[in-house]
Structure 1
Amino acid sequence: MTHRPVQAPQDDRPARFATEAGAALDAALVAGLHAYDRTRALTRFHRLSPDTIASDSPDGARAALKEIERAMRGERARRGHWSYDLNRHISLLVAHRAETARLHRLLNGG
């Protein structure tokens, strides 16, 4: 009588968790883009003047993106630290996507 090795059932929970987490993040980003209030989001950045926030020029959009990217670098540096805030990170991603789309519209005249 020969024994065949018994294979343990594969645990697909990590892959399923990663898929579900990615879907939840995508849903949060889409919802955030629909609710994005540019003035409210950008007034948090003390380096942006009200004139820059209100500007409809590509330079104003670039300045906003620069500040958002600076804040994102700071938030990434806090990963793993107790002060890291996932909700803030998501709001920065939403702002970055919205402002990038705005810059493209301004550059393309649409």
Structure 2
Amino acid sequence: MSRVNITPRFVLDYVVGRYHGQVEVVTKDIGATIGTEILNENGGRICAYRPGTRYPDRAQEVAEEHLRAALELALDGLDDPARIHREVAARLRDVVAGEQKWTPGEEDSW
């Protein structure tokens, strides 16, 4: 029998003027906390961190708060709305800089 592995995923959609995008939030129980990874629309990692909670739904709420803060920063002084995806990714990294870093695969494999 094959091993079955299920990974919970949560998608956050955003709209900025006429541009829209989404990020995917992947959470994993890594012991005493939840590991959170935020991916871009192509599945590339934007950032990964430990939000300091044991609950996946709270980790998703924290990711939503981070995205909201990143969007506010990205819109402040954005001269080219077509760059919104790259700008949001960069600002998300800035916003989560204060969180405890996490490298998926460090403790175990995904």
Give the structure with the higher percent strand.
2
Please tell me the TM-score bracket, short chain as reference. Answer: 0.3 to 0.5
If asked which structure has higher relative contact order (CA below 8 Å, sep 6+), I would say 1
- The alignment's TM-score, normalised by the length of structure 1, stands at 0.34
* Greater radius of gyration (CA): 1
